[in-house]
Structure 1
Amino acid sequence: MPVLYPPSDYDTHGNLKTPLLFWCTLLLQARTWFVLVLAAASRQQGDAILGVFYPDRDNFWFGLLPGVPAALAFMISGRRHLYPRVWAAVRWVLIAAQLVLLTWQLLLLWQGEDLTGVTLLLLLADLFALWWLATSRRLRDYFIINRE
C-alpha cells in the first residue's frame, strides 16, 4: 500500500490514526445513548431530560438501536489490528446504521413531527455523516489494517 498521508498520521503498527470526524460520527449515531447517560447521571431530573428530547418513549427505545454499532466500533477501535476482517466490515455497518437513522428521521417528519431547528440540524448532520462515511478516502483507508 503506497504512503498517501504524512508519517505523523500513522500509528506504531503502520495503520492510520483515527480521524476526528470518526469520533464525531460515532457520537452522532449514539446520541440517544448520550441522552440516556445524561438522564441517568442527573437522577432527579432524568425523567424530565428524557421528556425534553424524547416525548414519545417509543422513539427513545428505537433510537438506542443505531447507537449499538457506534458503541461497538468505539470499543474495538483500539484493538482493530487484532480483528482486521471484523474491522473492515464495521465501516459498512456504520453506513447502514446511518441510513437507518436518516430514514427514521425522514419517516418521523413525514408522519407529522414538527420541523424544529434541532430536528433540521440533526437531519443535516445525519446527511453529512452518511456522505462522509460513504465517500471519505481517509476513512476508507482507516479501515484497512496493515498486516505486517
Structure 2
Amino acid sequence: MYSPSDYDVHGNLKTPFLFWCILLFQARTWFLLVLAGASRQQGEALLALFYPERDNFWLGLLPGIPAALAFVIGGRRHLWPGLWAAWRWVLIVAQVAVLVWQILVIYQGEELSGVTLALLTGDVFALWWLATNRRLRDYFSAQRE
C-alpha cells in the first residue's frame, strides 16, 4: 500500500509530516508559553495578544497535554503498542474538546477576529485529518517488532 521509503529501518511506517504540524497546533498554548518565556521583554504582550483573559490561557494548556505526550511517547511507540494505538483517539477527543471550547467562547460573545477564525479553521482541519487520514490510522496501528 505504501512505498518502501515510507517505512523506517525497523519496518514501521514513518511519521507523517503533517502529524507533527498538527501536534504543534494542538499544543499551541504550550508553544506560546515557551515563546513568551524565551522573549522576556515581549512575552507579556505576546500572551495578551492571543489570550486577553488569563483564565483562557491556563485552560488552553489542558488540551495540549495529549499532544505534548504524543511528542514524548512517539519515539518509543514500539514499547507501548496498545497505548500508542489508543492515543490517536485521545488526540481526536482533545481536538473535539478544543473545537467545542472555541465555539462556546465565540458564542459567549468573543469577537470573531482573523486570529480566532484562523484557529477555528485550523481546528476543524486538524480534527478532519486526525479522524480520516488512512496513513495516520495505519501509523497508529500495532507496530512490527
Q: Counterpart in 2 of 1:91? A: 88
The Cα shift of 1:47 comes to 1.5
List structure 1 segments (4+ residues) > 2 angstroms apart after TM superposition. Answer: 145-148
Give how far 1:15 is off. Answer: 1.0
Q: Secondary structure at the match of 1:12?
A: coil
Counting only pairs closer than 5 Å after superposition, residues 43-54 of structure 1 correspond to structure 2 as 43-54=40-51
Q: Secondary structure at the match of 1:80?
A: coil
Partner of 1:36: 33
Structure 2 residue 126 is matched with structure 1 residue 134? no
The TM-score, its normalising length taken from structure 2, stands at 0.97
- Overall identity of the aligned pairs, in %: 72
* SS of alignment partner, residue 79 of structure 1: coil
- Determine if contact 2:6/2:14 at 8 Å carries over to the other structure: yes
The RMSD of aligned alpha carbons is: 0.9
Shift of 1:12: 1.4
* Whole-angstrom CA distance in 1 between matches of 2:91 and 2:52: 26
Letter matched to residue 142 of structure 1: Y
The alpha carbon displacement at 1:129 in A equals: 0.5
Matching residue of 1:10 = 7
CA contact (8 A) 1:98 1:126 kept: yes
Q: 1:123 aligns with which of 102, 120, 123?
A: 120
TM-aligned CA deviation for residue 146 of structure 1 = 2.7
- What runs of 5+ residues in structure 1 fail to find an aligned partner? none
Q: Which whole-Å CA distance do the structure 2 matches of 1:109 and 1:52 have between them?
A: 16
Which residue is 2:106 aligned to?
Answer: 109
- Equivalent pair of 2:12/2:144 in contact (CA under 8 Å): no
Shift of 1:17: 0.3
- Mark the runs of 5 or more structure 2 residues left unpaired by the alignment: none
Amino acid at match of 1:101: V
Distance 1:31 1:58 in 2: 16
Task: Give TM-score, length-normalised by structure 1.
Answer: 0.95
Amino acid at match of 1:83: W
* 2:140 corresponds to: 143
Q: Is the 8 A contact 1:15 1:145 kept in 2?
A: no
